Amino acid sequence: MKKYRHLTNAEIETLTSNACQSQDWSQIEVAEGFNAANLHRVTFYGTARLGCSDGTIEVSDGFVKNCGIVNATLRNVVIGDDCLIENIGNFMNNVAVGDHCYISNVCTIETRPKATYGEGNLISVLNEAGDGNLILFNGLNSQLAALMVKHFDNRHLRVALEKMINKAIENERRPCSTIGDSVRIVNTNEITNTIIGDGCQISGASRLSDCTIASTIDNPITIGTGVICEKSIVSGGSTIINSVKMVDCMVGETCELSNGFTAASSVFFANSYMSNGEACAAFCGPFTVSHHKSSLLIGGMFSFYNAGSATNFSNHAYKMGPMHYGTLERGSKTASGAYLLMPANIGTFSVLFGKLMYHPDTRDLPFSYLIAYNDTMYLVPGRNFATVGLYRDIRKWPKRDKRHKGDRKSIVNFDWLSPYSINEVVRGKHILENLRAASGDNVSTYNYHEYVIKAPMLRKGINYYDLALRIFMGAVLKRHKPEAPASTVGEGNWIDLSGLLLPESEEQRLINDIINGTLTTVDEVQQRFRAIDRNYNEYRWAWSHRLILDYYGIDQLTDEIVERIHTDYINARREWVDCIRADAEKEFSLGDVERDVLDDFINQLDREVDFENQPL
């Protein structure tokens, strides 16, 4: 605990001679190492505790200044050791500043009554016109956010979550705005009711109001020119620069928002990148990306998603208000100019082209292309499974996870072939086979709801799905002994909880344990998420073992069957790689890529042998 003392008469004389003044000098206390000579033109109101001011601080590369306080009006403040605070245009009021901070050319920093620092704020995600379904607070991660949004109509769960979240907020509540250690704030207008963590860099921001900026030394946050951030939470490692405007938002770990991007009532998690466009009531899970000025993400849940230019979603049908929403499951993309009429649900790793009407639901037909051509909506099932784009995507995501390894709040499972996606593949294969059986082979097209599937595309889709099944089963079997699983947990349906892949039964067990009081704190819920993730391989094997038995029509795994599965796996992978190679060569034939780019990619494909050390 740092010890403070009152000012000496000599120090008061020095301060007075340096044009400093105070309502009551006895209300000012100083620590060991305080140097009154380094304070100039400072006006004190209320109380102040001042740390050591006899050191120096680097304000720019190679430019070192003496610590101290110059040209400032301060009221009820605590200033740490070796800080330089200068040119405060208005005042600092009810603020605690850590050690080694540089605060220069700032108008106002203060704490006003009833400050919440952005925590406890109830926002409406997905349903823009809803009453609210997500509580913002510093401990929020993508899994807890997804659980809340998905099940907020469960009154018992909602009450239990509200109780534990309010408890977590209360345990961290601070009496005033705090600025952590080694923080740099320059050329900034207004900071009110805001917690700023260690190592944060703020330069040229317009306004930060009712926010928690959860920066750390190992995972610093950068906030840049023209940024307006209100009633929001920003997690470690994130960057918010170049006139971003956001209100009622959660920015997760190592996200980047830039270049005039605007957001309201939206959340962004784990390496998401937003630039130029707009988001409203959007749930942007891990690796959600939007680059373009004309793109609007509204009323949708996304993850591992890439928005093409001029992407738009309609959540406002007729006159009942903007209440509609939908889900683009992990790995989906929208091409330039894509439009999707909500409500809609798009299966994993699908690609959308054109103006898509009729509220498509393709959760049982993953890896598909959805194409609007005039008034006709076409569906190309499984096409994206064997494309260059998907191949590149599934390899780039793990490499682009820039979060600090010591503290990753959101869980991200990078497996692209998992019980979640393969369960959709199984259903999709059955749908296509049933369509063919019902209409026969002597037709040119098949209909799936309001979408048209051309006959050759249906046959190829069945083959793509079969390739996915054989690759998945073979790859999983390489990771497990060919024996019955120790538990049946994992059999049945699976879900993707914004990056966490888990059996639906485990989600329900979690919900029950929250409601009945087995789990009583946010930390316990987060620990359960991590435990589920640690058990992923066991759960996956239970599901995969059942799939293998059903696919091959057997009762148990024998050496002969294991060898057959391995052979099927090798052949399927070779065919998959050949399809990707053909896709790359087709792009080259269009004149869109250089020869050396194609050659490098083909060489990479030729080295493609196994997923042994990669996500499935």
Q: What local confidence, expressed as pLDDT, does residue 565 receive? A: 96
| Spatial contact of 274 and 256, defined as CB atoms under 8 Å apart | yes
pLDDT value at position 586?
Answer: 86
- Per domain, the residue ranges of the chain are 1-110, 389-603
Confirm whether pTM is higher than 0.85.
yes
Position 83 scores a pLDDT of 97
pLDDT computed for residue 184 by the predictor: 98
> Computed over its alpha carbons, how large is the radius of gyration of the chain?
29
Cβ-count burial 221-243 (b if 16+ within 10 Å, e if not): bbbbeebbbbbbbbbbbbbbbbb
Closest CA to 384 of 614, 576, 569: 576
Per-residue confidence (pLDDT) for residue 613, from 0 to 100: 45
Q: Quick one: pLDDT at residue 612?
A: 45
Angstrom distance (rounded) from CA 346 to CA 307: 14
Label the pairing between strands 369-373 and 376-380: antiparallel
Using 70 as the pLDDT threshold, list the residues of the chain that sit under it: 317-321, 608-616
Which letter does DSSP use for residue 113 in this model?
T
Residues facing residue 40 across a β-bridge: 70
How far apart, in whole angstroms, are the C-alpha atoms of residue 533 and residue 58? Answer: 44
How many whole angstroms separate alpha carbon 218 and alpha carbon 107? Answer: 28
Residue 400 is classified by DSSP as T
Report d(CA 139, CA 157) in Å as an integer: 18
Residue 222 is predicted with a pLDDT of 98
Instruction: Give counts: helices (H), strands (E), the chain.
Output: 11, 43
Which among 463, 454, 462, 430 is positioned nearest to 578, based on CA atoms?
463
